[in-house]
Amino acid sequence: MTARQASPRAPARRGVARSHGGLAWPVALLAGVGLAVLVLPLVALVARAPWGELGDLLARESVLEALVLSLGTAIAATGACLVLGVPLAVLLARAASWPAPGRRLLRAAVTVPLVLPPVVGGIALLLLLGRRGVLGGALGDLFGITVPFTTGAVVLAQVFVALPFLVFAVEGALRSADRRTELAAATLGASRWQVFRHVTLPLVAPGVAAGAVLCFTRALGEFGATITFAGSLPGVTRTLPIASYLAMQTDPDEAIALALLLLAVSVGVLLLLRDRWLPGVRG
| H runs (alpha helix) in 134-187 | 136-143, 151-176, 180-187
Mean pLDDT of the chain: 85
Chain segment 125-154, per-residue pLDDT in tens: 999 998 888 998 888 888 888 899 999 999
Is the pLDDT at 274 greater than 80? The verdict is no
pLDDT of residue 17: 43
Chain segment 64-96, per-residue pLDDT in tens: 999 999 999 999 999 999 999 999 999 998 887
- Is residue 268 very low, low, confident or very high in pLDDT (cuts 50, 70, 90)? confident
- Residue type at 87 in one-letter notation: P
Q: How far is CA 59 from CA 84, 169, 257, in A?
A: 36, 35, 10
- Is residue 175 very low, low, confident or very high in pLDDT (cuts 50, 70, 90)? confident
13 compared with 115, residue with greater pLDDT: 115
Is the pLDDT at 19 greater than 50? The verdict is no
- Is residue 158 very low, low, confident or very high in pLDDT (cuts 50, 70, 90)? very high
pLDDT of residue 133: 87
Chain segment 37-68, per-residue pLDDT in tens: 999 999 999 998 888 888 888 888 888 999 99
Mean pLDDT, residues 250-276 taken together? 83
For residue 132, count CB atoms less than 10 angstroms from its CB and return exposed for 0-12, middle for 13-18, buried for 19 or more: exposed
pLDDT of residue 275: 53
Mean pLDDT, residues 205-221 taken together? 90
